[in-house]
Structure 1
Amino acid sequence: MNILSGPTDVIWDVTYACPLRCTHCYSESGRRPARQLNHDEMLRVADAIVSLRPEAVEFAGGEPLLVRGIFDVAEHIGRAGIQVNLYTGGWTLTARTAEQATRVFSRITVSVDGADAAVHDRIRGRAGSFDRAMNALALLDDISGRRTAVGADPVEFGIDCAVVRSNLHQTEEFCTAVLPRFPHVRFLNFSAAVPSGLASRAEFAERELLTNDQVRALTDVEHVERLVSAAPPSVRVTTSDNFILQMRPALVEQGFVAPLMQVEPDGEVRAMPIYEGTVGNLLTEEPAVLWRRAVARWSDPFVAEALSSVRSMTDWAEATRRIDRRFGSEEVLLRIDRRPVYPAVPAPALKTVTPGAAHGR
């Protein structure tokens, strides 16, 4: 494909409001202003995205389900013939919103970062988050079951796990203990956590990002086959090292690139999905122009130099920190300087989030 013609997928972080405080959060959601647009502005951003004709738009965040009118915005994009997908932590999903979501979104992914509450809640930073995620999956499973019973299409829903050292040992347990609870679940994805946002902190990289041996173990063919064998046969199980998100210029030239556009809540477009630094706003500039600026960043000499020596996740984290400081705005640099050292609290302690904080206030 001609990369300059436009992105294949757009990831739109529609809000930075979030009820969770994940240790590896790439967007630092829940810890910063929501930067959420009003409904009319969101529809304008949606139209700008539609003009690029991507294959799919991923609604992420923060927690997209905290955004009032989110289903209208998603439907607006879907009517243009573009697939719309949802990523959620599951905390806010109710029976009513689950019904709405399954009518609007082509695929729904629930983030689950532990096969039990102890591991998941510690990583996600809030007690009860595992139970909420399981409840969300149960709601989706029930809807899918009822649809299947009357001959309708099932719900395309499943689980995504960001793999770090704290949960790597639980991959098989996901297949044997979590999946059987939801007979209509369609997929389970294990993806190595990437050094973006909070996960780029040096202390986090040293303690939680996977080592080279662990990445190889995660993606090893025999390991994947064991996971597939342990899972119900109806579930697609995949693993990924996520290296395609590194965007090392030498590999981009060889075609090893995912043409993704990352859009921040207020319409700002990131030059590279996991790194700080934007190229303009969809509310004020031509989307195609912003995309060409983003693509140009991929071969920037500073980016090429910073990524050229990456041989491990800790190397990658160091490169991320350099790129973020080179291209981040003054606001970004202040936020980076305010990041707490990992771990901010002892492992058994969990962040207590007030209702106001959950909505970005």
Structure 2
Amino acid sequence: MEIPDRPLEIIWDITYACPLRCFHCYSESGRRPSRQLSRQDMLRVAERIVAMRPYGISLAGGEPLLADGVFEVAARMADAGIKVALFTGGWSVRPEMIDDIVRHFFRVSVSLDGATAEVHDRIRGRRGSFDRAMATLQFLDQRVGRLRRDGGDAPSFGIDCVLVRSNFHQAEDFCTRIAPRFPALGFVSLGAVVPEGLASRPGVAEHELLTDEQVGLLGSAAFAARLRSVAPPSVQVTATDNLALQMHPDRIRRGQFFPALQVEPDGAARAMPAYEGTVGNLLTDPPAELWRRAVERWHDPFVVETLTPVRTMREWADATRRIDRHFASRADRARIERRPDFLPVRP
């Protein structure tokens, strides 16, 4: 695959505000300033994103539903003909928000990192977060089901699960115990935790990063087929090892990479979604120039030298920490140095 002349996907972490404290949080949301823009500037960023003509846009965070004006931003991008997806932890969803959610998004992913409250709440760092996520799925199920029965347009909604060692044993349970509770559920998406942000800490790498054997299993066709065989027929089940996010030089040459641009809440554009280091800001720099700089970063000698020898998940985590410290701003390096050690909590 040739490198496209624009990002095919844009992930906009529209705020770093978050009520949860996930130990594997990629953006350290809830532990740092939200950096959320004003409504006017959010709309300016939205216009710049539209100008890049991506196939899809995902609004994430943090918790995007905490961002004042998120529905207006989604509407602006959807009106331009771009499909806009939402990622939510479910904690902040209220029944009166459901109509806006189903109106403005073509796909809604509810993060669920455990098939039981015990596992999910431990990973998400807040008691009651499993119940809130399940309530959100119930709200969506009722509204989407009603729209479909009435012949109206409805988004696809489903479950997005980050697999770590302490929930890997529950992979099938999402298909057999959770999915059947929601007749209108469209998908279950399971992906290996990426050693990014807090998930790149040595303690997480040692105790919660998937083993290489687990990653190999997750990336196999047989594993995905097994999950699909036990899920309701109407539910699309996908499983991914997420190695495309590694941006390994060998994978780039083979076309096995993720041509995406990640945007921080204030409009700053990351060169590579899984690594620290920005290449400018959508509020001040031409979008095409930001993409050119991002692609250039993929081939930076330090990046190539650091990622070329990587063959294992532990080596990937080590490489992430090196790249982050090399390209992060002074303020971001200070934040990285303040990260607390990870101490595993077992039941």
> TM-score, normalization: structure 2?
0.98
- Helix, strand or coil at the partner of 1:237: strand
Q: Which residue does 2:308 correspond to in 1?
A: 308
Partners of 1:201 and 1:153 in 2: CA distance: 43
CA–CA separation in structure 1 for the residues paired with 2:117 and 2:246: 31
Give yes or no for contact 1:12–1:264 (8 Å, CA) kept in 2: yes
- Cα offsets for 1:113-169 (capped at 9, x unmatched): 000000000000000000000000000000111112212234300011000000000
**Corresponding residue of 2:239:** 239
1:9 equivalent to 2:9? Answer: yes
Are 1:96 and 2:96 counterparts?
A: yes
How far apart are residue 69 of structure 1 and its match? 1.0
Verify: 1:256 aligned to 2:264, yes or no.
Answer: no
Q: Which has the higher contact order (CA 8 A, sep 6+)?
A: 1
Contact 1:4/1:291 (CA < 8 Å) preserved in 2? no
For structure 2, the 5+ residue unaligned runs are none
**1:142-291 equivalent positions in 2, closer than 5 A:** 142-291=142-291
Partner of 1:357: none
Distance 2:2 2:76 in 1: 27
Shift of 1:218: 2.2
Structure 1 position 346, deviation (Å) = 4.4
Distance 2:222 2:44 in 1: 47
1-structure distance, mates of 2:228, 2:287: 41
- What is residue 44 of structure 1 aligned with on the other side? 44
Q: Which region of structure 1 is more displaced relative to structure 2, 85-94 or 223-232?
A: 223-232
For 1:48, the aligned partner's letter is R
Letter in 2 for 1:311: R
Partners of 2:291 and 2:218 lie apart in 1 by: 33
**Alpha-carbon distance, 1:99 to partner:** 1.1
1:234 and 1:31 mapped to 2: Cα distance? 38
Which amino acid in the other structure matches residue 88 of structure 1? T
- 1:65 counterpart = 2:65: yes
- What does residue 353 of structure 1 align with? none
SS in 2 for 1:3: coil
SS in 2 for 1:276: coil
Structure 2 contact 192–241 (Cα < 8 Å) conserved: yes
Give the partner amino acid of 2:244: I
The count of corresponding residues between Structure 1 and Structure 2 is 347
Determine the structure 2 residue equivalent to 1:132: 132
**Mapped partners of 2:4, 2:278: distance in 1:** 17
Assess if the C-alpha contact under 8 Å between 2:106 and 2:154 holds in 1. no
**Hey, which bits of structure 1, 4+ residues long, moved more than 3 A?**
1-4, 345-348
Q: Which moved more, 1:319-328 or 1:246-255?
A: 246-255
Query: Counterpart amino acid of 1:169?
Result: H
Distance in 2, matches of 1:153 and 1:100, equals 13
Distance of aligned partners of 1:104 and 1:154 in 2 relative to their CA distance in 1, 3 Å threshold: closer
1:50-107 deviations in whole A, cap 9, x for unaligned? Answer: 1111111100000000011100011001111111110000001111111101000010
Match of 1:355 in 2: none
Question: Contact 2:83/2:106 (CA < 8 Å) preserved in 1?
Answer: yes
Distance 1:83 1:302, change over 3 A: same
**What is the one-letter code of the residue matched to 1:78?**
A
Please give the alpha-carbon distance, in whole angstroms, between the structure 1 residues aligned to 2:219 and 2:262: 26
Q: Which runs of 5+ in 1 are unaligned?
A: 349-361
Query: In the alignment, which residue of structure 2 is the partner of 1:29?
Result: 29
Q: Distance in 2 between matches of 1:104 and 1:52?
A: 20
Equivalent residue number for residue 107 of structure 2: 107
- Measured in 2, the distance between the counterparts of 1:339 and 1:311 equals 26
Identity among equivalent pairs (%): 57
CA deviation vs aligned residue, 1:260-310 (integer Å, no higher than 9, x gap): 000000000001111000000110111111110011000111101111111
1:4 CA displacement = 5.0
Amino acid at match of 2:160: D
Q: Which amino acid aligns with 1:210?
A: L
- Cα displacement string for residues 15-68 of structure 1 (whole angstroms, at most 9, x for unaligned residues): 000000001000000000000000000001011111111111100000000011
Aligned partners of 1:275 and 1:324 also within 8 Å:
yes
Q: Corresponding residue for 2:19?
A: 19
TM-score w.r.t. the length of structure 1 is: 0.94
- How far residue 255 of structure 1 moved from its aligned partner, in angstroms, is 1.6
Matching residue's letter, 1:56: G
The answer for the alignment partner of 2:78 in structure 1 is 78
Out of 177-186 and 245-254, give the one that drifted further.
Answer: 245-254
8 A contact 1:143–1:155 mirrored in 2 = no
> CA separation in 1, counterparts of 2:115 and 2:301?
42
Is contact 1:111-1:159 (8 Å) kept?
yes
Provide the C-alpha distance between the structure 2 equivalents of 1:61 and 1:313, rounded to a whole number of angstroms.
24
Structure 1 CA distance for aligned equivalents of residues 259 and 42 of structure 2: 23
The question of whether the paired residues in 2 share the 8 Å contact of 1:277 and 1:324 is answered with: yes
| Aligned residues of 2:198 and 2:339 also touching (Cα < 8 A) | yes
Residue 182 of structure 1 aligns to which amino acid in structure 2?
Answer: F
